[in-house]
Amino acid sequence: MFTWEYPPRIVGGISRHCEGLARELVKKGHTVHIVTLEFPGAPLYEERNGVKIHRVPIELGHPNFIIWTLLFNHFMEKRIAEISKNEKFDVIHAHDWLVAPVSISSKHYLGVPLVSTIHSTEVGRAQGLHTQDSFLIDGFEWWLTYESKRVIATSYAMKREIEEHFHLPSEKIDVIPNGIDVSKYEVNVEHEEVKKRFRINPDEKIILFVGRLVPQKGVEYLIMAAPKIFEQHPDSRIIIVGNGWIKDNLMSLASSTKYSNKITFLGFLDDRDLTELTLCSDVLVVPSIYEPFGIVALEGMAAGVPVVASNVGGLAEIIEHDRTGFLAHKEDPDSIAFGINKILSDPEYAHKLAQNAKRKVYETYSWEAVARRTIEVYRKAIGE
Q: Is residue 71 domain-resident? A: yes
128 with 202, same domain: the answer is: no
Q: Which domain holds residue 189?
A: 182-364
pLDDT for residue 59: 86
120 with 236, same domain: the answer is: no
Strand order in the sheet with 283-286: 263-267, 236-241, 205-210, 283-286, 307-310, 326-328
pLDDT for residue 181: 85
**What is this structure's pTM?**
0.79
pLDDT for residue 291: 86
pLDDT for residue 65: 94
Burial of 188 (0-12, 13-18, 19+ CB in 10 A): exposed
* Phi and psi torsions of 196, nearest 5°: -65, -40
Interval 242-298: pLDDT, tens = 999 999 999 999 999 989 999 999 999 988 999 999 999 999 999 999 887 788 999
**Average pLDDT in the 11-17 region?**
87
Q: Is residue 2 domain-resident? A: no
| Contact between residue 369 and residue 376 where contact means Cβ atoms under 8 Å apart | no
Over pLDDT 70: what percentage of the chain?
100
CATH code where residue 349 lies: 3.40.50.2000
Over pLDDT 90: what percentage of the chain?
86
Most confident residue range from 58-62, 200-204, 380-384: 200-204
pLDDT for residue 113: 98
pLDDT for residue 64: 94
In total, how many domains does the chain have? 2
212 with 147, same domain: the answer is: no
- Reported as a pLDDT band with limits 50, 70 and 90, residue 314 is confident
pLDDT for residue 334: 98
228 with 300, same domain: the answer is: yes
156 with 253, same domain: the answer is: no
pLDDT for residue 31: 98
Q: Distance between CA 76 and CA 84 in Å, rounded?
A: 12
Examine the pLDDT at 192 and tell me if it is beyond 90. yes
**Average pLDDT in the 162-175 region?**
96
pLDDT for residue 201: 94
Alpha-carbon distance values, 85 to 89, 106, 111 (Å):
11, 13, 14
80 with 207, same domain: the answer is: no
**Average pLDDT in the 101-106 region?**
98
64 with 75, same domain: the answer is: yes
Size of the chain in residues: 384
Q: Is residue 1 domain-resident? A: no
Burial of 18 (0-12, 13-18, 19+ CB in 10 A): buried
| Contact between residue 180 and residue 299 where contact means Cβ atoms under 8 Å apart | yes
223 with 167, same domain: the answer is: no
Mean pLDDT estimate for the chain: 94
- Reported as a pLDDT band with limits 50, 70 and 90, residue 12 is confident
Q: Is residue 6 domain-resident? A: no
Q: Is residue 3 domain-resident? A: no
Examine the pLDDT at 366 and tell me if it is beyond 90. no
- Reported as a pLDDT band with limits 50, 70 and 90, residue 36 is very high
pLDDT for residue 98: 97
Q: Is residue 8 domain-resident? A: no
252 with 377, same domain: the answer is: no
Alpha-carbon distance values, 102 to 259, 306, 340 (Å):
48, 41, 44
Q: Is residue 267 domain-resident? A: yes
Interval 213-226: pLDDT, tens = 999 999 999 999 99
Which uninterrupted H or E stretch holds 164?
Answer: helix 156-165
Q: Distance between CA 328 and CA 316 in Å, rounded?
A: 10
37 with 87, same domain: the answer is: yes
Interval 107-162: pLDDT, tens = 999 999 999 999 989 998 888 899 999 999 999 999 999 999 999 999 898 999 99
24 with 166, same domain: the answer is: yes
Q: Is residue 4 domain-resident? A: no
**Average pLDDT in the 182-205 region?**
92
217 with 282, same domain: the answer is: yes
Q: Distance between CA 267 and CA 84 in Å, rounded?
A: 40
